[in-house]
Amino acid sequence: MDLRALRYFISVLEAGSLSRAAHSLYVAQPALTAQIKKLEGELGTRLLERSHAGVTPTPAGTQLYEDARRLLSDADAMRERIQRLPQGPEGSVTIALPFLLTSLLAGPVIASLRSSHPRIRIFVIDDLSLMVQKAMLDRRADLAILVDTPALHDLQVEPMAEEPIYVCGHDVDAVAAPLLRPAPDDGLPSMDFADACQLPLVLQSRRFSIRQAVESAAEAGGLRLNIVHEHDSARVIRSLYHCGAGFTFTPACSLSEAPAWLRANAGLAARNGPATIEPGWIVARVTSPELLRHYFLAVQANRGSDPALQVVRQALMAQARRLMDSHLWQARWLAAPGAINPSPQG
């Protein structure tokens, strides 16, 4: 008895006749009949009842049909498992990302790994930076990008990048333009932090890391923030400064979601010559002191050597580095040399 004979037997029963089964199997009917007789001889019992209408199973044939289907299913599954082994790692990896980095990193990483490592399933938690930390501490995430957190309990944490914080908004009353300082490289201008604090500001609440960084710098410099609107929603803040209701502080990664004029011009001086900003709009790097936002890559210690997680980690780091090298993300790479394998295969 072999697997082919069992497949033939199943086909005969499901077709209801030897002739129809032979046609679907592209096998001559005498050869198929011989295979069924051989199977009956090996099992020592009749399997089929033949009539002018076709064939029906005997009780032994019904039992064999049920057992053979399970056996062939197991054989197919075994073959698939063996054939999949050389294709690379498999498993589930959950990434936790701060809101502002999700659109930059998540899509390209998930799409590229779907092609290169289809057996790795990726889940994303995008939330406030504090909730990203909590997801790691609660072990709901395997891998995360932390904001301004160089160490966290029982996690492997390594530096990844730092980016500047900008002040931006629609300067409808021309209150910000006189405060700008031209950039030495003909790129985006800068503004002293003390001057930025005097502008009418639209900011998120103290739950957000950017607000915390701005308040810490203001407190250190003995400065007062001129806050005219405070909302938790990033969309509300964006809508307010787009319509000219005030200015906001935003990290470089968020410039990718700025209006079209900014996406086309801001920060591209290194490639396209001087950056130009549409009249009435302000985008300036904060200086004196310079406000910087730091990112760290964190991994659950117990999964540090997991092949699937390592593939995702490499893809995440590689995408971040590509964005920086192409000036689409105005950030500075901080990871150690060799942190990225150009062709991570796990």
Find residue 201's DSSP bridge partners: 227, 247
Distance CA 286, CA 180 (A): 10
Distance CA 319, CA 105 (A): 7
Residue 81: predicted pLDDT? 77
**117: Cα separation from own chain's centroid:** 13
pLDDT in tens, 270-309: 333 334 445 678 889 999 999 999 999 999 988 878 899 9
Residue 267: predicted pLDDT? 39
pLDDT in tens, 26-42: 999 999 999 999 999 99
User: What b/e string do you get for 248-281 counting C-beta neighbours within 10 Å, with b at 16 or more?
Assistant: bbbbbbbbbebeeebeebbbbbeeeeebebeeeb
Residue 261: predicted pLDDT? 40
Residue 228: predicted pLDDT? 95
Percent of the chain past pLDDT 90, that is, above it, reads 57
Q: Considering the chain, what is the average pLDDT of its residues? A: 86
Residue 231: predicted pLDDT? 92
> Which of the four pLDDT bands, split at 50, 70 and 90, describes residue 227?
very high
- 221 has a pLDDT exceeding 60: yes
CA angle 223, 224, 230 (to 5 degrees): 140
- 320 has a pLDDT exceeding 80: yes
DSSP string, 12-71: HHHHSSHHHHHHHHT--HHHHHHHHHHHHHHHTS--EEEETTEEEE-HHHHHHHHHHHHH
Q: With contact defined as beta carbons under 8 Å apart, do 193 and 221 qualify?
A: yes
- 133 has a pLDDT exceeding 90: yes
Q: At 111, is the secondary structure helix, strand, or coil?
A: helix
